[in-house]
Amino acid sequence: MQAYSQDLRERVAAACAEPGAKICQVAARFAVSLSFTDKLLRRQRTSGSVAELPRHPGPAPRLDAAGDALLRACLQAQPDATLAELGTALVAAGGPALQRTAVWQAVERLGWGRKKKARTPPNATPNAS
């Protein structure tokens, strides 16, 4: 979800500053939620600014460049390994112990596809029901 524009934030704050303005009426007038208006005014009181908060990138990946190289070697040695097998092979190669989700995220970050191809082609004859 994208943040509201700075212009809209300033107009909402200015409308709330008008004498006799009610937060619920201002929120309805600008088609924003009541909680957004309340949080905007609280941020203006505490920090003096109505600007959006900076985005947080999230936690850093558990594997560094050396760990990526180990995982890539494990993938090349056994390309059809499951995520659990890759995690075990990574630990055996001297890498960190990762949970299955972290292994999947690292494999995806390396650009290694995990989608398997179907073993048999679809049946050409329709099912008779």
Query: How much is the pLDDT for 113?
Result: 72
Sorting pLDDT into bands at 50, 70 and 90, what band is 53? confident
Which amino acid makes up residue 62?
Answer: R
Tell me, what's the pLDDT at 1?
A: 67
Are 104 and 83 contacting, i.e. CB atoms less than 8 angstroms apart? yes
Residue 68, pLDDT score = 92
pLDDT of 117 higher than 80: no
pTM for this entry: 0.51
Number of C-beta neighbours around residue 42 at 10 A = 10
